Structure 1
Amino acid sequence: MSVITIFNGLFCETGVVVKRVLDSTGYRLITDQEIVADAARLSGMDEGKIARAFQAGTSVFNKFSHEKERAVAWLRLAMANKLLDADRLVFSGYTSHLPPANIGHILKVCLIDDMKARLAVAEREEGMAEKHAQKLIHKDDEDRAAWVETLKGATDPWAQYLYDMIVPVASTGVDRSAELIVEQAGNEAVKATKSSLASIRDFVLAAKVETMLAAEGHNVQVAAKRGTIILTINKNVLMLDRLEKELKEIVGRVEGVAAIETKVGKGFHQSDIYRKVDFELPSKVLLVDDEREFVQTLSERLMLRDMGSAVVYDGESALNLIENDAPEVMILDLKMPGIDGIEVLRRVKQSRPDVEVIILTGHGSDQDRDTCMQLGAFAYLHKPVNIDVLSETLKAANEKIRNSN
């Protein structure tokens, strides 16, 4: 039997169409939430962190943590397991784009309408003002476009070549839209074959390899063909032979891998440097200090020790960043214009108590130290700081975080 995947724009009456399809076929619906929950169970990652992979905005720390890439790898494995275990499924949402294009018994559907029709649905079904609905649609379209580009390299999430059928629901009608999907799902062209079932097994194997590599801190493109794994390296590597050897050693431990090939992709000759995540080191460090030259130099020195960091120059910027993109560890100056370090520490520990805060100051008093430690600071250090002492303090903070997860 076939499998149906449905990707859609916001306010395109997708829920009603999907229900009609389910009622007509008896298929089971698999939602994004179910795939996210499975991925979280498989990986041990937080569901919220996995779901953030669907959003357009990438964390400022992602180039050091590869958190989004790890989330996508586990989402792929969760999706692959669903496809391996059953057919007669309807996948609706972002996860519909996770399977590779070569699985022939997947009917790929897109439900989309023009802005006027979507605004009309928002007003009729939700009682929503046009300006508010338009804002929601633009944000949702932005997220969907970024997601499709991440997975497929396509800049247009509604491009015809991505789907077997694109249905404009408003002009087609809800009932007829569902009928068209059901009719095409019964087409011989999307019936399961030996070849399409083998493609699912390839998908499962590639997903297992991808998660294994992600767990070892690596981020490479993975494909599989009848037991052969093809690894594509898309970032510049100083010692390619050494990396290839390490990747092959990891992949060779995955059951079902018969052979391994490596190659470089289009991004290999760009300036972006390949970085392996070292989970013994904090990968999401925020430096907060108004002394720009000092903090930039500190960031560079930490980078030489494989610790990536983002930099802001005042307390307000730090608090704004933390609202949407919490670091694991913060190195915080006390004396800054505007919101001072003690107030930043107080607010951070109120809103994000899991963030470990290291105070690094050149002007603090014994009373300041006592106040900071009472507020929950992990450590209190003085400038100028020995970089080795700071590095060891960061590692200790990271170990505390890992042990508490």
Structure 2
Amino acid sequence: MPVITLFSGSYCNEKEVVQEIGLRTGYPLISDKEIVAEASQRAGIPENRIERVFSNKTSVFNRLTRERERSLAYLRSVLAERLSEDALMISGFAAQLIPREISHVLRVCLIADMSSRVAAAVQERQISDAEALKIIHREDEKCAAWMHRLYETLDPWSASLYDICLPTDKTSPDEIAGLIEKSIDQSVIKLASGSKQAVDDFNTAANLEIALVKKGHTVGVEVKESVATLTINKHVLMLSRLEEELKEIAIQVAGVTAVETKVGPGYYQTDVYRRQDFEAPSKILLVDDEKKYVQTLSKRLMMRELDSAVVYDGESALELAREDEPDVMILDLRMPGIDGIEVLRRVKKTHPAIEVIVLTSQGSEADKKTCMELGAFAFLSKSVDIEELSKTINAAHEKISQARARQ
């Protein structure tokens, strides 16, 4: 039996349409929430950070953690496993990850005229037309960013992306359900051998992507009839060695019968390929208003395999802690605006798992006592040897790792 995917604009009567389709077909609904929850459990990444892949927001730590790439890999894995079944209805952003080669999927778009959507938002939320329009535009921008990332189109509601586009302001939920029921009876979208192979390849590709990302590799992955093609899009000094390592990982994945590697357009750019070590501290935030000092410190830490992000004031540090939650924060004490002690106090109150190392040139014994009482991991002078600072960062990371292992 076919699978139905639904992608809807906000305030386009999606809930009522889904209910009618379910009544007519008996198809169970799988939502983004369910897929994200399962991906989160498998990946060990919080649900709110998995959901971030659907927006155009990317963590400042992503180049260090590859969290976005890992999230996508696990989302694809969950979807691929669900597609081993049939007679399903999948709604939301995640459904758009299903490859076009899987032909027994009926891709449905639900959209309505803006005036109808605004009126629905006004009625539901008891807000003005202007407020409703602003909300809808913001949500449409999120949809557009997602579809552009996947299909390089600026119009998320383009008919070329779907098998059928239905205007919910001109067609009742019952009529829409009837049209979809009729469509899934057509033989062209029945589960055929070619589509079954495409599902198997999608599942294999997802598992291969996970196997690679677990080893710290981020490369393009494609599987066709059990043959895996890996595309390297960053320059690497020893290409043949990387290719051998990738092939060794890939051939061990169930469903892969052969592996090919190639370089993509990005290989010829100046960026250099680097395998990510997920055991090393990766979400380090440096907070200091002395720009030259903190930039130099970041480079010196990088030479010791400790990559970091940098902000120059307390306000930015607190905002980033809310958005991205670093593991370790290296914090200056004396800064204009919100000073280091206040940043420490707020961070430990709202995000106690963040380990804060105070690094200052002006701290007194009283400051040290205050910081340690507030929960700082360490209180160091800026004159500290870089090796000692590196050891302290690694010790803080070890404490975090042990705490997570106990959870």
TM range (shorter): over 0.9
Instruction: Please give the alpha-carbon distance, in whole angstroms, between the structure 2 residues aligned to 1:272 and 1:130.
Output: 47
Matched, 1:392 2:386: no
Instruction: Tell me what 1:19 maps to.
Output: 19
Cα shift at 1:294: 0.4
Q: Note the 1:307-322 alignment, pairs <5 A.
A: 307-322=306-321
Q: What residue ranges of structure 1 are gaps of 5+ in the alignment?
A: none
**Counterpart residue identity of residue 38, structure 1:** E
Instruction: Tell me what 2:199 maps to.
Output: 200
- Could you tell me whether the CA contact under 8 Å between 2:43 and 2:70 is conserved in 1? no
**Counterpart residue identity of residue 51, structure 2:** A
Matched, 1:306 2:305: yes
Deviations 1:240-281 (A, max 9, x none): 222222211211221221111112223332333333221122
Instruction: Please give the alpha-carbon distance, in whole angstroms, between the structure 2 residues aligned to 1:308 and 1:134.
Output: 42
Indicate the larger mover: 182-191 or 287-296: 182-191
Residues 400 and 205 of structure 1: CA distance in aligned 2, closer, same or farther (over 3 Å): same
Indicate the larger mover: 334-343 or 146-155: 146-155
Task: State the SS of the aligned residue for 1:170.
Answer: coil
Instruction: Tell me what 2:186 maps to.
Output: 187
Instruction: Tell me what 2:163 maps to.
Output: 164
Instruction: Tell me what 1:79 maps to.
Output: 79
Residues 367 and 36 of structure 1: CA distance in aligned 2, closer, same or farther (over 3 Å): same
Deviations 1:336-378 (A, max 9, x none): 1111101100000001111111111111112211211111111
Instruction: Tell me what 2:218 maps to.
Output: 219
Matched, 1:33 2:46: no
Instruction: Tell me what 1:96 maps to.
Output: 95
Instruction: Tell me what 1:375 maps to.
Output: 374
Cα shift at 1:147: 2.2
Instruction: Tell me what 1:44 maps to.
Output: 44
Instruction: Tell me what 1:333 maps to.
Output: 332
Instruction: Tell me what 2:238 maps to.
Output: 239
Cα shift at 1:206: 0.4
- Could you tell me whether the CA contact under 8 Å between 1:312 and 1:318 is conserved in 2? yes
Cα shift at 1:397: 1.7
Corresponding residue pairs, total: 404
Residues 305 and 180 of structure 1: CA distance in aligned 2, closer, same or farther (over 3 Å): farther
- Could you tell me whether the CA contact under 8 Å between 1:228 and 1:261 is conserved in 2? yes
- Could you tell me whether the CA contact under 8 Å between 1:280 and 1:398 is conserved in 2? no
Indicate the larger mover: 55-64 or 165-174: 165-174
Residues 259 and 356 of structure 1: CA distance in aligned 2, closer, same or farther (over 3 Å): same
Deviations 1:298-354 (A, max 9, x none): 112222333322211111121122222221111100011111101100000001111
Q: TM-score, normalised by structure 1?
A: 0.95
Q: Note the 1:345-360 alignment, pairs <5 A.
A: 345-360=344-359
Task: State the SS of the aligned residue for 1:172.
Answer: coil
Q: What residue ranges of structure 2 are gaps of 5+ in the alignment?
A: none
Cα shift at 1:297: 1.0
- Could you tell me whether the CA contact under 8 Å between 1:277 and 1:283 is conserved in 2? no
Indicate the larger mover: 46-55 or 217-226: 46-55
Instruction: Please give the alpha-carbon distance, in whole angstroms, between the structure 2 residues aligned to 1:251 and 1:74.
Output: 17
Cα shift at 1:130: 2.1
- Could you tell me whether the CA contact under 8 Å between 2:314 and 2:337 is conserved in 1? yes
Instruction: Tell me what 1:361 maps to.
Output: 360
Instruction: Tell me what 2:10 maps to.
Output: 10
- Percent of paired sites with the same residue: 51
- Could you tell me whether the CA contact under 8 Å between 2:284 and 2:329 is conserved in 1? yes
**Counterpart residue identity of residue 56, structure 1:** N
Cα shift at 1:175: 2.7
Instruction: Tell me what 1:278 maps to.
Output: 277
Q: TM-score, normalised by structure 2?
A: 0.95
Cα shift at 1:290: 0.8
Deviations 1:114-146 (A, max 9, x none): 322211121233433223222222222222222
Instruction: Please give the alpha-carbon distance, in whole angstroms, between the structure 2 residues aligned to 1:154 and 1:249.
Output: 36
**Counterpart residue identity of residue 55, structure 2:** Q
Task: State the SS of the aligned residue for 2:170.
Answer: helix
Q: Note the 1:56-135 alignment, pairs <5 A.
A: 56-84=56-84, 86-135=85-134
Cα shift at 1:55: 2.3
Instruction: Tell me what 1:53 maps to.
Output: 53
**Counterpart residue identity of residue 320, structure 2:** L
- Could you tell me whether the CA contact under 8 Å between 1:198 and 1:226 is conserved in 2? yes
Residues 268 and 156 of structure 1: CA distance in aligned 2, closer, same or farther (over 3 Å): farther
Cα shift at 1:219: 1.4
Cα shift at 1:385: 2.8
**Counterpart residue identity of residue 82, structure 1:** R
Indicate the larger mover: 333-342 or 127-136: 127-136
- Could you tell me whether the CA contact under 8 Å between 2:221 and 2:229 is conserved in 1? yes
Task: State the SS of the aligned residue for 1:4.
Answer: strand
Residues 328 and 139 of structure 1: CA distance in aligned 2, closer, same or farther (over 3 Å): farther
Instruction: Tell me what 1:174 maps to.
Output: 173
Instruction: Tell me what 1:148 maps to.
Output: 147
**Counterpart residue identity of residue 370, structure 1:** K
